[in-house]
A and B are shown apart, each in its own frame.
Chain A
């Protein structure tokens, strides 16, 4: 055993890594619980990768075979239904944990110097996670997935100058058809995983270098050693996460619905997945045009401004004081209002269809 350790020591700096992990400390304060969502997000991402690789063994990305191959995974392949269920439900949990993780960092004001890089990579990673969700919805080639993609691609299409180009690139032509499915599969299974792996590596390295942020205004009571104390906590959170995932997979198995008919009209009451509801509901509430400007153009501008503001947040809100100031309170109110709006749109969308 010692020889084996020595063999590695001469090639990989395992001793240095161990020493680094022993030195690494996670801040201890009354909000330490929220740090667990970073680990949970990583867990569900890994679950997505493994289950996605297994599904790709049987999935066929063509309009003639996509639906049938997914139905075969669910109905015929041994343990196929469970792998599909794990992929489906862990995608929901991944989006949920990413949103909670991001919201906690927002309220911690964790984006302040020197953690700008961690914040920006996190914002882009959230976009990538939503990209995974959007592209994954079309892959089974069901009616809901088809029309959700049709509507989803139409939103950027209304942008002036670049809109139509973006839509054509996404569709692979003028319509959502086989070419779109191939592109979406490539995005979902190759491009986005590669991008996300690079971003996750950067995000984690940045986090190791700068350490976890203490919420603004918190003094904290020392630190929790990362190894093994915080690893134990993370592992317990993972076990809880897996328990919840298993419950969803076993009691809400994913069955295959209706195959997409590209010549049919959209079914009544069709709506996107819960994480796109705030955007969908906002479009639904607004009139067709505001002050003579097409609402879709305004929505595109507002979404772009929102994303840009998130990326530039470390410079928009760069108060260096460690005590809570009036500006910090304004940002807190903005965050709470945002969460309230997101919850409100979901409640209304699901209770008043």
Chain B
């Protein structure tokens, strides 16, 4: 993870700068979608786990 961040943050011809609102909006939609999908999967797993009696930490 850290290595990936370092890769992203490497000096690369000074091509940075705050992008336009349109680009930021697209990134926001993609980010929210991925996080929502992740959250939904996690929520479903949590509900499934609760339905299984005897497996909730008391074994």
Contacts and interface: CB of A to CB of B under 8 A. Distances in A.
Do A and B interact?
yes
Interface in B32-59: 32, 35-36, 38-39, 42-43, 45-46, 49-50, 56-59
Contacts of A25: 57
Interface residues of B, number: 34
A22 interface: yes
B49 A232 contact: yes
Contacts of A258: none
Contacts, number: 95
B18 A253 contact: yes
A246 interface: yes
A74 B18 contact: yes
B6 to A, nearest CB: 7
A253 B23 CA distance: 13
B57 A83 contact: no
Nearest to B11: A77
B42 A243 contact: no
A79 B9 contact: yes
Given A54-B5, A240-B39, A250 B46 contact: no
A124 to B, nearest CB: 28
Contacts of A229: 46, 49-50, 56-57
A233 B43 CA distance: 8
A239 B16 contact: no
Interface of B: 2, 5-6, 8-18, 24-25, 27-28, 31-32, 35-36, 38-39, 42-43, 45-46, 49-50, 56-59
